[in-house]
Structure 1
Amino acid sequence: MAYRHWCGECGYKTAWLSEPRGEELQFQHYIKQHPGIPPGGSVEVNRGKPNGVLGCLSLLGILLLLLILTTPWR
């Protein structure tokens, strides 16, 4: 899944990122743009965009399949 964090004070929003990275960028935004205000806002979830874990697992599966198909049988 990918997450987009929205600022509760202005129209700022992060790109679609992993949850920890989005939280970090939102926190940095609040420090620069809204000093003294605790970070707030909302989080939008995009279940259609996989993060790196699912992408890596599918790549690993493809590589394993290629290895099996290219191994000579005796």
Structure 2
Amino acid sequence: MIVETPAAYIGLMGSTQRWKVVRNQLIDSGINTKELERIATPIGIEIAAESPEEIAVSILAEVIAGDNLP
């Protein structure tokens, strides 16, 4: 499972409803709820992105912002 890796950033693209379903599936499979806190959802920063290019920029901005944190 990805949450069990040392990945610096884990994000889930999708709706809040989808995250609830996936989160419950992960918990049912034995994933620690503390590990689930590492998953960024919704993915990206809020810039009212609509096009695939804008969504990509918002995701990269979130990754870059995370890299620059102490």
TM range (shorter): 0.3 to 0.5
TM-score by length of 2: 0.33
Greater strand proportion: 1
TM-score by length of 1: 0.32
